[in-house]
Structure 1
Amino acid sequence: MEEIRIIIASDSVGETAELVTKACTSQYKTEGNALDIVRLPYIENESNINEVVSLALEQKSIVVYTLVKPEMRLYLKEKLEENNIENVDIMGPLMSILSDELKEAPLNEPGNIHKLDEDYFKKIEAIEFAVKYDDGRDPRGLPKADIVLIGVSRTSKTPLSQYLAHKRYKVMNVPLVPEVAPPEGLFEIDPKKCIALKINQKNLNAIRRARLIQLGLSDDANYAKDDRIEEELQYFEDVVSKIGCPVLDVSDKAIEETANDIIKIITQQNR
């Protein structure tokens, strides 16, 4: 079988066009060595385009291209058609439709998808950070965190950490328990990035009782008793007073509302 050659031409790195091309070629039983895919990235001017056309003529290649700048896309299209070279414009047709539907001109900036990728990886990094440093597991996370949440048990520290991680914040949370001294690093970090989660006794009692029942335990365990909760809340006040950090009452708030309040506090603190 005669080898089929495909040139990927892009004004960025060409990953998008290559992925689409490979997705298409994977639908055929043709042996892999019968397909030759060459990627030509960073096509920025007419000289680069002329090189693509010359190579395509020389190798009798199909040209698959992703050029976002309309003048470059039009020039390449004209040159390919002049030379009867088989070609596929991956982005042009859809961008034309989107421009009509959105009533908006495209940015025409090559490589924007990689900016999105970078944002995605930042989110993944933040999520992994929240998992790694959940529940005060490793005090070495304190200086690395963007936000440190502190509070007694059942103040939504973990779900808040995960929610904020999806907003690209690296969050560590530290539980406050009278019998366990907080890590020393908690008193050494900038108090501006520490948020204390406060809750009233009545709400905390109800939440803990419900949690015990959910676990199949008796709801009159010490964990949910008023005197134990009073002790923990007093300990919370003592630690917060020592740190000098902002305090946020989460008694009657949803996770999303609390998270937005935390972001506002952190943003104002960083100004």
Structure 2
Amino acid sequence: MNHHQQKIYIVSDSIGETADRMVHAALTQFNLAQVDTVKFSHINTVDKLRRIMETAATTTSVVAYTFALEEMNQEIKALAQASGIKTVDLLHPLVETISETFGAAPKNEPGMMRKLDEEYFRRIEAVEFAVKYDDAQDPSGLKKADLVLVGVSRTSKTPLSMYLAHKQLKVANVPLVPEVPIPEELYQIRRDRCIGLIISPEKLNDIRRVRLKSMGLNEKAEYASMQRILEEMEYAEKIMKRIGCPVIDVSNKAVEETASYILDVLKVERSAVK
């Protein structure tokens, strides 16, 4: 054995990111400049594992591993015992404790942490998308969006965009205001990628008055007047008909309820397109 070579072998039947982070977190507690780490991903056969363990036996080493596959867990224990290599199971003790405590069987599927990481980053990307393309700030986003919401002011376009972003949908929204030209891109997207939001005039009147009051403005301003609201809604209806998109009434609906309904409508619309 070469005692001048000091290594930690990180071995996993998946990417090995969890094990890698744990090992490097532990190493921050030491001043071990001469210790190298070597990561081996997707080690899912006994032959691959044996070759790694043979290499590890030639150095002063520790083998840290995360195996979801029980066969690999048993094999590395046998190899470690036969060779005298120090090993650390970073995953199985915790999985076993959870299983025994809560009476639940583990999935024993490699890569579950990677799937969680991918879902997390997709959500972050969708949230950033919703912020960037809120209120048609950049019309180029309409063609990139999984979904575009259109409606007059205060129909929950932004809250819905953010909520659906956490469902990993990239959502853009466009306010329908008579005095503001509609982005041409809105007419170029498929109808199954757009949802129109409508609301009762009375409900919208209440919401806008509260909004003005919270901003310290006169709640009787034109923005909250019934005449203005009816004009905007008539204009919005024409735009939605031109687009040909499904329309959802958000009156007296919570954001979660509307979002669930939107997802159901999209399933129906997209299955029809197919």
TM-score between the two structures when normalised by the length of structure 1: 0.93
Q: Give matches, 1:117-266, under 5 Å.
A: 117-266=117-266
Deviations 1:99-136 (A, max 9, x none): 33454443333223222222222212211211111101
Q: For 1:115 and 1:235, locate their aligned partners in 2 and report how far apart those are by CA, in whole Å.
A: 44
SS at match of 1:144: coil
Matched, 1:72 2:72: yes
The Cα of 1:73 is off from its aligned counterpart by 1.0
SS at match of 1:87: strand
Which amino acid letter does the alignment assign opposite residue 143 of structure 2? P
Q: For 2:245 and 2:234, locate their aligned partners in 1 and report how far apart those are by CA, in whole Å.
A: 16
Aligned to 2:17: 15
Aligned to 2:99: 99
Which amino acid letter does the alignment assign opposite residue 260 of structure 1? S
- Asked if the contact 2:148–2:195 (Cα under 8 Å) also holds between the matched residues in 1, the reply is yes
- Which has the larger displacement, 152-161 or 47-56? 47-56
Q: For 2:129 and 2:228, locate their aligned partners in 1 and report how far apart those are by CA, in whole Å.
A: 31
- Asked if the contact 2:4–2:60 (Cα under 8 Å) also holds between the matched residues in 1, the reply is no
- Asked if the contact 2:135–2:175 (Cα under 8 Å) also holds between the matched residues in 1, the reply is yes
- Which has the larger displacement, 257-266 or 106-115? 106-115
Q: For 2:17 and 2:227, locate their aligned partners in 1 and report how far apart those are by CA, in whole Å.
A: 62
Q: For 1:14 and 1:194, locate their aligned partners in 2 and report how far apart those are by CA, in whole Å.
A: 40
Deviations 1:68-91 (A, max 9, x none): 111111111111022222111111
Corresponding pairs, count: 269
Q: For 1:13 and 1:191, locate their aligned partners in 2 and report how far apart those are by CA, in whole Å.
A: 40
Which amino acid letter does the alignment assign opposite residue 112 of structure 2? N
SS at match of 1:256: helix
- Which has the larger displacement, 184-193 or 52-61? 184-193
- Asked if the contact 2:149–2:173 (Cα under 8 Å) also holds between the matched residues in 1, the reply is yes
Runs of at least 5 residues in structure 2 that lack an aligned partner in the other structure: none
- Which has the larger displacement, 19-28 or 260-269? 19-28
Matched, 1:61 2:68: no
Deviations 1:205-225 (A, max 9, x none): 111111111111111111111
Task: Kindly report the root-mean-square deviation, in angstroms, between the aligned alpha carbons of the 2 structures.
Answer: 1.8
- Which has the larger displacement, 254-263 or 239-248? 239-248
Q: Give matches, 1:24-35, under 5 Å.
A: 24-28=26-30, 30-31=31-32, 33-35=33-35
The Cα of 1:56 is off from its aligned counterpart by 1.9
SS at match of 1:177: coil
Runs of at least 5 residues in structure 1 that lack an aligned partner in the other structure: none
Which amino acid letter does the alignment assign opposite residue 91 of structure 1? L
SS at match of 1:205: helix
Deviations 1:126-157 (A, max 9, x none): 11211111101222222222211111111110
The Cα of 1:58 is off from its aligned counterpart by 0.7
SS at match of 1:60: strand
Q: Percent identity at matched positions?
A: 47
- Asked if the contact 2:4–2:59 (Cα under 8 Å) also holds between the matched residues in 1, the reply is no
TM-score between the two structures when normalised by the length of structure 2: 0.92
Which amino acid letter does the alignment assign opposite residue 51 of structure 1? R
Which amino acid letter does the alignment assign opposite residue 25 of structure 1? L
Which amino acid letter does the alignment assign opposite residue 20 of structure 1? M
Which amino acid letter does the alignment assign opposite residue 142 of structure 2? L
Q: For 2:237 and 2:48, locate their aligned partners in 1 and report how far apart those are by CA, in whole Å.
A: 67
- Which has the larger displacement, 187-196 or 257-266? 187-196
Q: For 2:75 and 2:191, locate their aligned partners in 1 and report how far apart those are by CA, in whole Å.
A: 58
SS at match of 1:197: strand
Matched, 1:6 2:8: yes
